[in-house]
């Protein structure tokens, strides 16, 4: 596909994203007329005061969360798939999600002397920052472990296996805690694992945005070595790419992106693995200068779309976002991959 | 209210006295039938009395299973009708019982027969001081409901194990115990929706301890206290009624008690306007934050705010809570007044047998002038 076509496609995706963002902001369980929404958006007073609050405190943070989650996880997944040259790699394989879940479980499930939550509370952190902090610390701890391992080994496959094993270990740890917890604690934990875009509040939007945008910019910064990595480690080395350093970079960026998302919104699956495949098939390129912006646009659009679907029509109920991303996305990916033979050639 | 309470105390002492007399009677003359009891409010169980036995039926043992489970309680060695011989049999009186829910503890405590407990699950979260003491002294074994230790239960030599008909649990989990000859009794009180109906499960418990007369007296007092309160709230004109919101959001989703839930029953009886009274569910329903937020903004009173015990702690959970009218007016209450440092909450233990106190608390919160002398029992203001 020629370069101009890529640019045109990216522009089209950007328009889609803006469109979906507007649709997402204008739909919800409470019916608010479009004129009122426009007035609210441009900081004008509207007759119904609660509409302003609903827009700025509920819908806006949720739409932003969808964009941030979708773009961050997609780009993280793309990088890892390139690094490991494995189509099954996603942020969860490095144990980032698992680490975050251990952090959250340590706050929610343990009791008595082992309650990390109690310890953190004594330092003066509480409320939802407690969970966010715990998730981030958990993800960071696992990252450190993986980093130490990656400094010692050369082989990417070994690193992948270590990541998977660390994830298994954390599942076991959480399992033991669940076993000894009471039903209320388990319920709270299980609800966390469903993931949620609504958990992000207005004042948290800037914090998460800064982290995610920084991570995305850093990703664009390493687009060139990522392109070279696809040609094979030896070839990359001969072209002057420091494999160990780029590996370190990717791991840090991934945990920044996936770790912060998991901390604020819970573990959200599927996006990280599926969007990179979608993008590669649609753009028919391996150039990361195109793939990264495409992942950002497609990931954000997909999450906005999924969030629209979670709102059951004519009903105040919502479905868990995690279920919807997989439910909608998996068949699409299967269909595309079966139709195209493109994926086979890359890895 | 104070008068009702003291009357209740008096009667419960009397009931306890008569029940201990009855127990003494029972040991000398085992074949003597105990005072029978019938259900008025509860819909989940029934007890029928035959010559030398009681037949206890649980109609709705599990959340998704309407099959009736039956148990034969033998009061004497008399021969059973052939139709009943295949049912699980328990010889009365039960002196050694394993309970797997703290709610069961509430019933036994109200019947003053906690001494029958030899093992229980969730001992870490018990509020009842005597039980905590007995757990510490190893007189009550701590069990784990999720990973049932059959050996530990067998070693306790219980006459029955009482379990909750929780969702996803079926008798399969307890099949090993049944195979070992230990009767497993399903106590489905949590599926009972009305407050008085729930409290009436005390009669179910009493059937196993031969304390039906004590249970009857107890329920009469509770019922009287409850209906007295109901009469007060009925008189409140509809435009003076206050609206309530219940619960907090988890990760941005709000689990709202359905219109047929235990809490919604209380709201109705307390003459509160509950915006979700029309939801057909008897459990909680996950609603979108936006849907709840919209209604919650103007709700006058906010109850049951998770584990939060201060407005600051509540706002730290989600800054959006600060927008609620009830929050701004300080009309936020939580059922955390009787919580032990271990996390055990008396509301979940004794609340089920003291619905009149829960209702009185709600009335006091909503319409303080109706109960000037009542001091909040389970609830506290944040």
ipTM score of the complex? 0.77
Tell me the pairing of strands B117-121 and B97-99: parallel
Which residues 118-157 on chain B approach chain A with CB closer than 8 angstroms?
A: 122, 124-125, 144, 146-147
Burial class (CB in 10 A: 0-12, 13-18, 19+), B373: exposed
Which residues 300-319 on chain A approach chain B with CB closer than 8 angstroms?
A: 311, 316-318
In this predicted structure, what is the pLDDT of residue B1?
A: 44
User: In which region does residue A78 sit, left (phi positive, over 0), alpha (psi from -120 to 50) or beta (all else)?
Assistant: alpha
Residue A205 has pLDDT above 50, yes or no: yes
Residues paired with residue B120 on neighbouring β-strands, in sequence order: B99, B142
Distance from CA of B313 to the nearest CA of A (A): 6
In this predicted structure, what is the pLDDT of residue B17?
A: 42
Tokens 């009925």 belong to residue: B234
In this predicted structure, what is the pLDDT of residue A137?
A: 83
Q: Higher confidence at residue A64 or residue A277?
A: A64
Backbone angles phi, psi at A106, to 5 degrees: -65, -30
Residue A125 has pLDDT above 80, yes or no: no
**Looking at the complex, does the CB of residue B322 fall below 8 Å from at least one CB of chain A?**
no
CB B275 within 8 Å of CB B299:
yes
Convert the pLDDT of each residue in A307-342 to its tens digit. 988 876 666 777 888 888 888 777 877 777 677 665
Tokens 């029958």 belong to residue: B116
- Domains in chain B: boundaries: 2-222, 236-381
Residues of chain A contacting B294 with CB distance shorter than 8 Å:
29-30, 50, 54
Nearest CB neighbour to B251, from listed A53, A62, A199: A199
- If one looks up domain B2-222 in CATH, what number appears? 3.40.50.1980
Residue A231 has pLDDT above 70, yes or no: yes
In this predicted structure, what is the pLDDT of residue B354?
A: 94
CA closest to A321 among chain B residues: B253
**Looking at the complex, does the CB of residue A21 fall below 8 Å from at least one CB of chain B?**
no
Best-predicted range by mean pLDDT (A107-121, A138-152, A202-216, B9-23): A202-216
Nearest CB neighbour to B289, from listed A178, A188, A198: A198
Residues of chain A contacting B252 with CB distance shorter than 8 Å:
62, 196-200
Give me the helices (H) in chain B, please: 2-28, 102-110, 129-136, 150-156, 175-179, 195-199, 201-209, 212-234, 262-269, 289-296, 311-317, 325-328, 346-349, 355-366
**Looking at the complex, does the CB of residue B285 fall below 8 Å from at least one CB of chain A?**
yes
Complete edge-to-edge strand list for the sheet that includes strand B301-303: B244-246, B301-303, B332-334, B380-381
Count the helix, strand and coil residues of chain A and give each as a percent rounded to the nearest 5: 80, 0, 20
Distance from CA of A342 to the nearest CA of B (A): 39
Residue B162: closest CA among B127, B115, B204: B204
In this predicted structure, what is the pLDDT of residue A166?
A: 83
Nearest CB neighbour to A201, from listed B124, B285, B318: B318
Q: Length of chain B, please?
A: 382
Distances from the Cα of B291 to the Cα of A55, A148, B276, B321, angstroms: 12, 47, 11, 14
Both tokens assigned to B163 = 């379990």
Cβ atoms < 10 Å from Cβ of B192? 22
**Looking at the complex, does the CB of residue A50 fall below 8 Å from at least one CB of chain B?**
yes
Asked if B316 lies within 8 A of A50 by C-beta distance, the reply is no
In this predicted structure, what is the pLDDT of residue B7?
A: 44
Asked if A50 lies within 8 A of B320 by C-beta distance, the reply is no
Residues of chain B contacting A29 with CB distance shorter than 8 Å:
287-288, 290-291, 294
Residue A80: closest CA among A213, A252, A233, A203: A252
CA closest to A198 among chain B residues: B252
Asked if A50 lies within 8 A of B289 by C-beta distance, the reply is no
Tokens 């032990």 belong to residue: B340
Average pLDDT of span A132-151 = 80
CA distance linking residue B288 with residue B305, whole number of Å:
17
CA distance linking residue B114 with residue B124, whole number of Å:
17
**Looking at the complex, does the CB of residue B295 fall below 8 Å from at least one CB of chain A?**
no
Enumerate residue ranges in chain B where pLDDT < 50.
1-33
Question: Angle of helix A96-108 relative to helix A243-265, nearest 10 degrees?
Answer: 40
Residues of chain A contacting B320 with CB distance shorter than 8 Å:
57-58, 201-202
Asked if B289 lies within 8 A of A126 by C-beta distance, the reply is no
Q: Considering the entire predicted model, what is its pTM?
A: 0.80
Asked if B319 lies within 8 A of A201 by C-beta distance, the reply is yes
Nearest CB neighbour to A182, from listed B125, B253, B297: B125
Distance from CA of B379 to the nearest CA of A (A): 19
Q: Higher confidence at residue B181 or residue A126?
A: B181
State the pLDDT confidence band at A291, using cuts at 50, 70 and 90.
Answer: very high
Distances from the Cα of A259 to the Cα of A92, A99, A136, A262, B322, angstroms: 10, 9, 6, 5, 28
CA distance linking residue B165 with residue B64, whole number of Å:
10
Cβ atoms < 10 Å from Cβ of B191? 22
Distances from the Cα of B159 to the Cα of B77, B126, B342, angstroms: 16, 22, 30
Q: What angle do CA B124, B126, B129 make, to 5 degrees?
A: 120
End-to-end CA distance of chain A: 20
Residues of chain A contacting B318 with CB distance shorter than 8 Å:
127-128, 201
Domain B236-381, CATH class in plain words: alpha beta
Q: Same fold for the domain at B2-222 and the one at B236-381?
A: yes
State the pLDDT confidence band at A182, using cuts at 50, 70 and 90.
Answer: confident
Asked if A127 lies within 8 A of B323 by C-beta distance, the reply is no
What 3-state class would DSSP assign to A329? helix
**Looking at the complex, does the CB of residue A158 fall below 8 Å from at least one CB of chain B?**
no
**Looking at the complex, does the CB of residue B167 fall below 8 Å from at least one CB of chain A?**
no
Q: If residue B257 lies in a helix (H) or strand (E), which one and from where to where?
A: strand B253-257
In this predicted structure, what is the pLDDT of residue A340?
A: 63
Residue A302: closest CA among A80, A76, A82, A68: A68
**Looking at the complex, does the CB of residue A123 fall below 8 Å from at least one CB of chain B?**
no
Convert the pLDDT of each residue in A235-288 to its tens digit. 888 888 888 888 888 888 888 888 888 888 888 878 888 899 889 888 988 899
């Amino acid at each position: 596909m020629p370069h101009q076509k890529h640019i045109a496609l990216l522009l089209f995706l950007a328009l889609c994203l803006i469109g979906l963002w507007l649709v997402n902001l204008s739909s919800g369980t409470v019916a608010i007329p479009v004129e009122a929404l426009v007035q609210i958006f441009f900081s004008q007073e509207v007759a119904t005061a609660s509409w302003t609050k609903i827009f700025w405190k509920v819908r806006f943070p949720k739409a932003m969360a969808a964009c941030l989650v979708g773009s961050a996880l997609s780009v993280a997944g793309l990088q890892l798939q390139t690094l490991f040259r494995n189509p099954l790699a996603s942020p969860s394989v490095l144990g980032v999600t698992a680490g975050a879940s251990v952090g959250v479980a340590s706050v929610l499930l343990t009791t008595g002397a082992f309650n990390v939550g109690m310890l953190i509370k004594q330092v003066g952190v509480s409320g939802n920052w407690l969970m966010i902090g715990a998730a981030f610390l958990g993800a960071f701890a696992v990252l450190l472990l993986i980093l130490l391992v990656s400094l010692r080994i050369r082989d990417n496959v070994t690193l992948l296996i270590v990541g998977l094993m660390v994830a298994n270990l954390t599942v076991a740890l959480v399992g033991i805690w669940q076993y000894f917890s009471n039903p209320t604690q388990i319920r709270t934990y299980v609800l966390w694992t469903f993931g949620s875009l609504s958990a992000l509040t207005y004042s948290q939007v800037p914090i998460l945005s800064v982290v995610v945008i920084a991570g995305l910019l850093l990703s664009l910064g390493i687009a060139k070595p990522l392109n070279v990595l696809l040609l094979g480690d030896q070839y990359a080395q001969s072209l002057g790419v420091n494999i160990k350093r780029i590996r370190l970079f990717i791991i840090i960026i991934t945990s920044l992106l996936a770790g912060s998302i998991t901390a604020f919104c819970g573990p959200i699956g599927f996006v990280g693995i599926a969007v990179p495949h979608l993008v590669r098939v649609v753009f028919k390129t391996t150039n990361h200068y195109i793939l990264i912006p495409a992942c950002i646009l497609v990931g954000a659009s997909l999450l906005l779309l999924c969030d629209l679907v979670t709102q059951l029509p004519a009903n105040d109920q919502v479905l868990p976002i995690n279920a919807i991303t997989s439910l909608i996305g998996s068949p699409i990916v299967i269909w595309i991959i079966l139709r195209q033979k493109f994926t086979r050639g890359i890895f | 209210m104070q008068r009702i309470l003291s009357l209740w105390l008096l009667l419960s002492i009397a009931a306890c006295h008569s029940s201990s007399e009855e127990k003494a009677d029972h040991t000398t003359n085992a074949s003597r039938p105990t005072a029978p009891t019938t259900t008025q409010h509860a819909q989940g169980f029934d007890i029928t009395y035959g010559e030398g036995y009681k037949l206890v039926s649980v109609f709705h043992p599990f959340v998704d299973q309407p099959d009736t489970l039956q148990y034969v309680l033998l009061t004497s060695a008399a021969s059973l009708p052939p139709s009943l011989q295949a049912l699980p049999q328990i010889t009365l009186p039960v002196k050694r019982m394993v309970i797997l829910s703290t709610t069961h503890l509430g019933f036994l405590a109200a019947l003053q027969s906690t001494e029958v407990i030899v093992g229980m699950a969730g001992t870490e979260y018990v509020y009842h001081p005597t039980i905590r003491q007995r757990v510490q002294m190893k007189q009550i074994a701590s069990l784990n409901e999720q990973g049932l230790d059959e050996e530990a239960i067998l070693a306790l030599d219980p006459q029955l194990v009482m379990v909750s008909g929780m969702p996803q649990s079926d008798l399969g989990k307890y099949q090993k115990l049944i195979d070992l000859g230990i009767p497993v009794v399903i106590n489905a009180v949590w599926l009972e929706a009305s407050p008085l109906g729930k409290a009436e499960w005390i009669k179910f418990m009493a059937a196993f301890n031969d304390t039906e007369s004590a249970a009857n007296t107890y329920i009469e007092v509770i019922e009287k206290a409850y209906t007295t309160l109901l009469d007060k709230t009925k008189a409140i004109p509809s435009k003076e009624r206050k609206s309530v919101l219940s619960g907090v959001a988890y990760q941005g989703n709000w689990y709202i008690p359905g219109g047929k839930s235990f809490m919604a029953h209380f709201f109705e009886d307390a003459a509160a306007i509950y915006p979700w009274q029309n939801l057909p569910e008897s459990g909680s329903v996950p609603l979108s934050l936006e849907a709840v937020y919209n209604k919650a903004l103007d709700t006058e009173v906010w109850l049951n705010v998770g584990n939060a015990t201060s407005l600051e702690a509540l706002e730290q959970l989600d800054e959006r809570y600060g927008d609620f009218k009830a929050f701004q007016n300080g009309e936020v209450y939580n059922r955390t007044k009787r919580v032990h440092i271990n996390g055990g909450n008396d509301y979940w233990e004794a609340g089920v047998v003291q619905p009149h106190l829960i209702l009185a608390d709600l009335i006091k919160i909503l319409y303080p002038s109706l109960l000037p002398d009542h001091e909040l029992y389970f609830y506290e203001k944040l």
